[in-house]
A = this chain, B = another copy of it.
Amino acid sequence: MPTTRKLSSRAADLPASPIRRLAPFAVKARAAGRKVYGLNIGQPDIPTPPEILGRLKTYSDPNIPYGPSQGTPEFLETLQSYYGSCGLKVGIEDLFVTTGGSEAILFVLGVIADPGDEVLVFEPYYTNYSGFAALLGVVPVPVTTPAEKGYHLPDRAVIESKIGDRTRAIMLCSPNNPTGTVYTDREMELLADICRKHDLFLVADEVYREFTYDGLTHRSALTLPGMDERTIVVDSLSKRISVCGLRIGNVVCRNKELMAAILKAGQARLCPPTLGQHLGAGLMDVPASYMTEVISEYEGRRDLVFDALSAMAGVSLEKPEGAFYVCARFPVDDADRFAQYMLEEFHHNGETVMMAPAEGFYATPGQGREEARIAYVLNRNDLTAAMQALAVGLSSYPGRF
């Protein structure tokens, strides 16, 4: 007897992963013996510091119990010290540990917005914001950041034109995934001013905080004056110490009412991972040199990828300022089709590249069709080979302008 019971409308609204469509082509290419350089996701190859990984061996409890919903006292204190080391004064009561930055986004959107409420996002944007919004019935309203300006913010009037009765917050990711843009002091202050004027929350995704290049520094939303009740920071250990699979993130917010609501949401899921917090509690034991070296490595990779892309005829891009992504515009009919071609039909000496077509990072239909995101998460030898394959592939692609 076949069911007639339908799934929810919400299930239909959940976006399919824009990268997932290409996965079977990568599997096939690898099965055919080709080397596929995976530049499509932000999974760094950097080793986790021994001060973190070594803690696997020091776990001594007889079982793995629930911790407090807010996080373990040990890890909360570590986070407080970490923010202190970044010059950010944060109380324990301003912190809530989550299962990755992902759960932080889910809880934050949940407590600030009801179904039908809107949140401004700067496109191209981290595509998973849309997944959580769909689960909650919240509507992301895109404000396009122009590629030719390095994806920096458009004029104030453009941003304000998107604010309506249902707007509850502005969301920003800095340093940015997928563009690598680091927003300036002036831009941060502009957003704060708009939030105050229009009575909005500012949700700042700062998981790439440390990853800035050319001596640029990142301006945390936590430093914006007069914004303590409005600023909500979403954070994660994932990229900082190469522990994406640990699933440890957190919220930082000085608005007590909001934190009380997040506690209620967090109590329903009992607690974030206990083992992950045990490992994360080693964060302050990691020497500063680890991060310095990692950032220097990424800066070198960025230069390599930027130079290689800039040398390809018809490719246009601005030099990314942070994170480990670059968005480039390719001289092609459709970057999604081009990415599929690279996996399905092309190889250069048995090698090819997997990229993330950028259309999935836009909410405005038709935007980003010629753009793709490249994550420079491989070592420089691999990146050099990948850029060579990409250059040859681009010149041979039939849909090239």
Interface residues of A (CB under 8 A from B): 1-5, 7-12, 14-17, 20, 41, 43-48, 53, 56-57, 59, 62-67, 69, 99-100, 102-103, 106, 110-115, 117, 128, 130-132, 135-137, 168, 196, 199-201, 226, 229-230, 242-247, 255, 257-258, 261, 264-265, 267-276, 279
- B48 to A66, Cβ gap below 8 A? no
Which B residues lie within 8 Å of A103 (CB)?
A: 99, 269
Query: Which B-chain residue is minimally distant from A2 (CB atoms)?
Result: B229
Which of B48, B128, B269 touches A63 (beta carbons < 8 Å)? Answer: B48
- B269 to A246, Cβ gap below 8 A? no
Which of B67, B131, B242, B269 touches A245 (beta carbons < 8 Å)? Answer: B67
With A9-B114, A274-B246: A265-B196 Cβ-Cβ less than 8 Å = no
- A4 to B199, Cβ gap below 8 A? yes
CB distance from A292 to the nearest CB of B (A): 18
- A7 to B111, Cβ gap below 8 A? yes
Copy count, this protein chain:
2
With A66-B41, A230-B3: A247-B99 Cβ-Cβ less than 8 Å = yes
Which B residues lie within 8 Å of A272 (CB)?
A: 247
- B8 to A113, Cβ gap below 8 A? yes
CB distance from A224 to the nearest CB of B (A): 12
- B67 to A268, Cβ gap below 8 A? no
* Complex alpha-carbon distance, A200 and B5, angstroms: 6
* Complex alpha-carbon distance, A350 and B43, angstroms: 54
* Complex alpha-carbon distance, A196 and B49, angstroms: 54
- B100 to A265, Cβ gap below 8 A? no
